[in-house]
Structure 1
Amino acid sequence: MSAVAVRRARRAPRRRLALVLTGLAAALVAAFLLRVLGGDYTVTLPDFLRILGGEQIPGATFILTESKLPRAVLGLLVGVGFGVAGAIFQGTLRNPLASPDLIGVSMGASAAAVFAIVVLDLSGTALSVASVLGAVLVAATIRLAAGPGAGYRLVLVGVTAAAALMAIVEYLFTRADQYDAQLALRWLTGSLNAADWPTIRALALCLAVLLPAVASTARAQRVLELGRDVATGLGVGRTTADVLLVVAVLLTALGVAAAGPVAFVAFAAGPVARALNGGRSTLCGAALVGAVLVVLADHLAAYAIPDVNLPVGVVTGALGAPFLLWLLASGRAGRRSA
């Protein structure tokens, strides 16, 4: 009987994870279909499938392929990238506050983009490249300033860097003309308004390279959550942690380059997935939660208020701020990192 109980106890976490992932996948499909089929101009599911098959339906084909579908697909990809990046930061540093939104990585990408818009007059691919380089440069600076071991010092340095970068962005806004200021706001709030198929293809290609690399280090991620000393004893050293953080920085930078810093998605996805999974971390769950958040928030941003189309970052920020307050008030953010 004891052996049977042990086997059941071992199967229980796997069974719960399978149920959680299945439920989140279903929620993502529902959110995706709501974003694509619902709204002011509704499209039936049979018409949607016919359009995907190449059939031309007057009015519906253009609206679906040029507006609704690109936004939904880009939101899904951005949400997956942010969700995985946030879970890596929080798991590797063992701190639920260690998300790229809060420790300066997203702000580094945004500040670089605003500088490129206002000072260098860049746009398109060059602007996206500047955003990615800004995130990588800021992340490297924060990591060096935090010193060996990083941990909670990296979070503190990152928060300080984010504040300094925000001051730089505010100064740049004083120099910007009206057109540049409106364009730069996209990089501060997060928006899917500029969704197009070339951007989607480029982001999908990058995710196709980075996500398998993350999957191959899933065991190391779980070991790092046990603490630096235990991880070192099990053969997972600081180099592995730094490689994971580099991948997380790249995921964040690419998401910001595609849609701006959609607030709180990277921060909330990991803890929500962990809570659903009974306190156990799951990168796949975090990816699905991030995708659901962005796609559903974009639908709410477009249709929650009649005749008002909000940036998706406004909705995620409104949802994420109370979540952060709850996390702090409940003491769940007080776990020390190694």
Structure 2
Amino acid sequence: MRMLLIVIALIVIALVLFALDIAVGEYQLPVDRVLDVLAGGGSRAQRFIILENRLPRALTAVVVGAALGLAGAIAQSILHNPLASPDLLGITSGASLGAVAVITLTGSAGTAAAIGVPLAALCGGLLTAVLLYLLAWGRTGPGESGVMGFRLILVGIGVNAALLSGVSWLLARATLTDAGHAQLWITGSLNQSDWSTLIPAAIGLAVAVAVAATAAHSLAALRFGADTTRILGVRIQTQQGLLLAAAFGAAALATAAVGPLGFIGLAAPQIARRLLRSPGEPLIASALTGAVLVLGADLAARTVFPVDLPVGVVTAAFGGPFLLYLLVRANRKATL
């Protein structure tokens, strides 16, 4: 019963933040007017402002947050480590390297930027995921080969550092205009969100949800040790690869849509786990928590501060202390 109530509460909070996110802007709208327009009413001007300008942004926040939260929950469940998230493993850094390469090498305007930046971010994230898996492949036991969670995390930290160095190098050699556009993209922003950026991210989320639903038994088994997983009849490497591919693909598409939003994939599953007091990272609650975090961060970025901030700045400001909290908590457990 507690789990159901928490999930319902997360849905309600997400809906409230969703309506507020649409209502806030240069032209303020009351929430009841927003609901009226979403139900089919309102004037032509109000429908244009809400349905064409603000609704895609709010929906993108929901989809991106849910995708990152779900991706983090899948990765943390399989790799048995709360630090296993798309940003710390280098997936978002790979997407950033691809996007920054297009911006700085081909210019920051025109068709190349409009189409090439999201496509390059997607390819960069997916190629990074493949690289991580190949580098982490090794012996897992006598006569056995595969990917071990701890090894993948160590490889991911190293790859992430290398990719960030590549981004810094591209920024250093770029023109001032292109470097400014690239720096804005890698902070993570919902300002350019529209239907064209929303649809690919929604597809990635839908695929990840479908894979997680069909492989629910395997995912539950992978949360145990290797011996227990084999006894339950699960092909460890096959299911592990499939689930991680779906999770990292969703994270790459989310990053391609709005740029890297730091720490959502890290924090959302851990917050959801503590709310539900569950032994593992709950997938549905993690996705909902991710949506709530991004909606809340976007709302705060536009209302709390004197100037509008990119939403990635707010998520990073929240995620940094949360990462320190996880590290301190893990260190205390290790010394007990």
TM over 0.5: yes
CA distance in 1, matches of 2:324, 2:233: 37
Spell out the pairing of 1:183-222 with structure 2 (5 A cutoff): 183-222=181-220
What amino acid is aligned across from residue 249 of structure 1 in structure 2?
F
The alignment status of 1:233 with 2:219, answered yes or no, reads no
State whether residues 94 and 227 of structure 1, in contact with CA within 8 Å, keep that contact through their aligned partners in structure 2.
Answer: no
What amino acid is aligned across from residue 302 of structure 1 in structure 2?
R
CA distance in 2, matches of 1:160, 1:187: 23
Structure 1 residues not aligned, in runs of 5+: 1-14
Q: 2:123 aligns with which of 124, 130, 133?
A: 133
Equivalent residue number for residue 85 of structure 2: 99
CA distance in 2, matches of 1:49, 1:328: 42
Q: Deviations over 1:134-158 (max 9, x none)?
A: 1111111111111233211111111
The alignment status of 1:41 with 2:11, answered yes or no, reads no
State whether residues 68 and 250 of structure 2, in contact with CA within 8 Å, keep that contact through their aligned partners in structure 1.
Answer: yes
What amino acid is aligned across from residue 287 of structure 1 in structure 2?
A
Q: 1:205 to 1:248 in 2, by over 3 A?
A: closer
What amino acid is aligned across from residue 247 of structure 1 in structure 2?
A
Spell out the pairing of 1:1-338 with structure 2 (5 A cutoff): 15-38=1-24, 41-55=27-41, 57=43, 59-121=45-107, 122-148=112-138, 149-236=147-234, 237-280=236-279, 281-306=281-306, 308-331=307-330
> Which has the larger displacement, 116-125 or 168-177?
116-125
Equivalent residue number for residue 141 of structure 2: none
SS of corresponding position for 1:194:
coil
What amino acid is aligned across from residue 261 of structure 2 in structure 1?
V
Q: Between the two proteins, what is the percent identity of the paired residues?
A: 40
CA distance in 1, matches of 2:185, 2:157: 18
State whether residues 87 and 270 of structure 1, in contact with CA within 8 Å, keep that contact through their aligned partners in structure 2.
Answer: yes
SS of corresponding position for 1:100:
coil
State whether residues 301 and 314 of structure 2, in contact with CA within 8 Å, keep that contact through their aligned partners in structure 1.
Answer: yes
Q: 1:333 to 1:127 in 2, by over 3 A?
A: farther
Compute the displacement of 1:40 (Å): 5.2
What amino acid is aligned across from residue 164 of structure 2 in structure 1?
M
Compute the displacement of 1:250 (Å): 0.3
SS of corresponding position for 1:103:
coil
State whether residues 187 and 256 of structure 1, in contact with CA within 8 Å, keep that contact through their aligned partners in structure 2.
Answer: no
State whether residues 197 and 257 of structure 2, in contact with CA within 8 Å, keep that contact through their aligned partners in structure 1.
Answer: yes
SS of corresponding position for 1:123:
helix
Compute the displacement of 1:187 (Å): 3.6
Compute the displacement of 1:176 (Å): 1.4
Q: Deviations over 1:208-264 (max 9, x none)?
A: 333222221122112111122211221222110111000011011100000111010
Compute the displacement of 1:104 (Å): 0.7
What amino acid is aligned across from residue 239 of structure 1 in structure 2?
T
Aligned residues: 320
Compute the displacement of 1:77 (Å): 0.4
Calculate the TM-score normalised by the size of structure 1: 0.89
Compute the displacement of 1:59 (Å): 4.8
